[in-house]
Each structure stands twice: as structure tokens, then as C-alpha cells.
A = this chain, B = another copy of it.
Amino acid sequence: MIARVSATTVFCLLAIAGSANAAGKTRTRNVAIVLYDHVELLDFAGPGEVFAAAARAGATGDEPAFRVYTVGRSKSPLISEGFVKIVPEFSIEDAPKPDLVVFPGGGVQSIVGDPALMAWARSAVDSSEIAFSVCNGAFVLGSLGVLDGKTVTTHFGAMSRLRSSFPKVTVQEGRRFVDNGKIVTTAGVSAGIDGALHVVARLLGRAAADETARYMEYRWAPEPYLAQSYASSK
């Protein structure tokens, strides 16, 4: 098995080792969830629930581990893929600088085709600790050029298009998420939950992620090579 461990995996283990050293940090990390018309509901609600629940599970005293907020092009209401009308808490004009920035999938052309939103996304990705995409949210990161040379994943239905759109990116099948250190991409829709729990484990330790999953009654099973690498406590 060890012979099959990829460069990405090694990258990832190094990143985890680095953040494990940082475990115990008390600062609250800002988590910006980028919303837009036709965003897929569970793509943002999965990681949103994880980070909001982990804010408590990973808290140090009264200090929550995360401050989760929504960011839109403006504060006008938008409609998620289907049926939920949401008013973003912040616009790109006044959003706090994120430590983690989440790009859920859906009708991502609403982001990729909007120069002002892409300019904000570039700045947010550049200055963030982690940029996280769910599903075809990977097209946002791809369009920013930050996936070049990396191994990533996306929704199974978007893989061939991601490959042809970004030839310098290796798109991997059969993974719930792929962690490149700063860039974390997940497979479709519900896989955002697994990717977010992984990020919680990486930043705050396995116990905080387990407590979050338990609260959510989510059957979380991290990949074994990762599970061994998480700090056992925050």
C-alpha cells in the first residue's frame, strides 16, 4: 500500500503535521461561505453545519473555534439551486477577511463569469489559510489558476469537463476529498461534509471532529492514512 502513496498524500501528511503542531491555538478562524444564485443547497449547508457545530466542539473556553458567515456579490437575496431564498450576511465590499474560504458548487458561472466576484475570490484565496471547494466549486479555484500542478477532485459528473478545462490539473476519481495543504477539494454535494470534518480534524484535532460528527449524527470514516495523522486532541 505504501508504494501507492502519491506525492499529494505526502504533501497532505506534511500539511497535517504542520497544523498538528499548531493545534491548541485559541484564535477564532473566520470561515467565509461564498453564495450565489443557483448554489447547490447541501454543497454549502454541509460544510456550513460542520464549521458552525465545530465552532462549539472546538471552542477554547468562550472562544469559538470558527466564526462562519455567508458572502455574496451583494446583500440582495439569492436563490439556491431549487428553492431557498438567502440573504448574504456580507457582500464582497464588507466581508471580513477569511481564514477559510468555501466555494460550494451549483451554477458556478455566477462566480466565474463575474469579474468583481472573481477579484474578491482571488484575494480571499491568496490570503487564506485554506481554500475549500465542494463539487463543481472546483471550477472557481481552477479559473483562479491555483489548481495547476495539483491533484484535486470534484463531482463525478464534472470530472471530464474539469480535466478538459484545466489540463495542468490532475482530477482524481473515487475520493471524497483531496487535501493539498492550502487547497482542499471535495467530491459532490454531501462529500463537502467529509471534507469539512477532515479540515476540522486537521486544524483542531481528531477529538473536535469526532465530537462534531457525533453531534451531527454523521457516520464519519476518515481515510486511514489521514486518521493516524490527526492530533488526538485540540
Contact = CB atoms under 8 A, between A and B. Distances in A.
Interface of A: 40-42, 45-46, 48-49, 52, 55, 68-70, 77, 81-89, 155-157, 176, 187-191, 193, 215-219
Nearest to A45: B45
Contact of A83 (B41, B69, B188, B215): B69
Oligomer: number of copies: 2
Nearest to A213: B190
A86 B189 CA distance: 20
A137 to B, nearest CB: 14
Summarize A's interface: helix, strand, loop or mixed.
mixed
A81 B56 CA distance: 12
Contact of A188 (B69, B176, B216): B216
A48 B217 contact: no
Nearest to A88: B85
B52 A48 contact: no
A-B pairs with the 5 shortest C-beta distances?
A: A45-B45, A42-B49, A52-B82, A188-B217, A190-B218
A217 B189 contact: yes
Contact of A68 (B45, B68, B82, B217): B82
6 contacts: A41-B49, A42-B45, A52-B83, A157-B215, A189-B216, A190-B216
Contacts of A84: 45, 48, 70, 86
Given A77-B87, A156-B217, A189-B215, 6 more contacts: A40-B49, A42-B216, A45-B46, A49-B82, A83-B89, A87-B87
B86 A85 contact: yes
A234 to B, nearest CB: 20
A157 B214 CA distance: 10
